[in-house]
Amino acid sequence: MHKSIQWIAFAAVSVPLFLAAQTRNVVLPQDKGPATINVSSYPAAQQQAYKLFVNKCSQCHTIARPINTSMTRTEWMMYVKRMMHKPNSGISNSQGKDIFEFLAYDQQVRKDKNPAKFYKALSDDQIQKLEAQQ
C-alpha cells in the first residue's frame, strides 16, 4: 500500500486507542537513555522531521522515551496516532505523518541494527505497575 494511503486508512481503525489516553507522570526505563539522535547522515527530509519530532514529542514526557523505544513500522503508526490524539498534543495529522515517517526511518537505520540497545514498548499494565511503585 502507498505510504500516505496507509497512514490515512489507519485513522479509521485506531480510534479505540484514544480512549486509553490520559496524561501520566510516570518515569519509564526509556526516559533514562540518550536524549539525542545524530541525524547528520539522514536524508534532508528526515533531518527536518527530526526537529518537528523533538519539538512535539517532548511536551508530555522526555524525548528520550521515543528515542530509546523500539517498535515495528505498524506499531509506530499506531503509537504516533495514539500520542496525536492525547488531549492538547498540538500535533496535526500532517505533522504526525512526518513524525511517523521519521520514526520508521530511524527504526530501520539505527534501532533495527542494534536491537539490544533499545527497549520494547511497555504494555499498559507494565506502565501502571511502574506508576504504582513511584
Report the interface residues with ligand HEC, using CB under 6 A.
20, 22-24, 28, 56-57, 59-61, 65-66, 69, 79-80, 83, 86, 88-89, 91, 99, 121-122, 127
Residue carrying the nine cell digits 536524508: 43
* Residue written as grid cell 518537528: 52
Beta bridge partners, 70, equal 120
Q: Which is nearer to ligand HEC, 12 or 124 (CB)?
A: 124
The C-alpha cell at 38 is 545524530
Nearest approach, Cβ of residue 5 and ligand HEC (Å):
20
Closest Cα to residue 91, out of 46, 35, 53?
Answer: 53
Minimum CB distance to ligand HEC, residue 104 (Å): 11
CB of residue 113 vs ligand HEC: minimum separation in angstroms? Answer: 19
3-state DSSP call for residue 70? strand
Buried b (16+ CB within 10 A) or exposed e, 45-69: ebeebbeebbebbeeebbbbbbbbb
Nearer to ligand HEC, 43 or 90 (CB): 90
Cβ nearer to ligand HEC, comparing 88 with 134? 88
Q: Which residue has the cell 504494555?
A: 123
Q: Judged by CB, which is closer to ligand HEC: 22, or 38?
A: 22
Shortest Å distance, C-beta 56 to ligand HEC: 5
